[in-house]
Amino acid sequence: MITKSKVKRWGNSLGVVLPKTLVEEEGLKEGEEVEVTVRKVSDVRTLRGKYPFKDLQNEKDEMKRGWECAES
């Protein structure tokens, strides 16, 4: 599953909180190892040409909705 999350300060490090839905869907438990792929998505224009977007504005709107969910 692909999800978006904000990077937050955690002591002297940075951390990412996994959304509850992802944790439940994957059946994750504390202490388990996971594999994480990191890709900064702040500039949608860098994605153009890499992915087959039919409607770039629609894709940007969908990403913004994902950010709104991650903030709550």
Split at pLDDT 50, 70, 90, the class of 70 is: low
What are 6-35's pLDDT values in tens digits?
Answer: 889 989 999 988 889 889 999 999 999 998
Measured in degrees and rounded to the nearest 5, phi and psi for residue 56 equal -60, -40
Single pTM value for the model: 0.49
Measured between alpha carbons, how far is 65 from 33 in angstroms, rounded to an integer?
A: 29
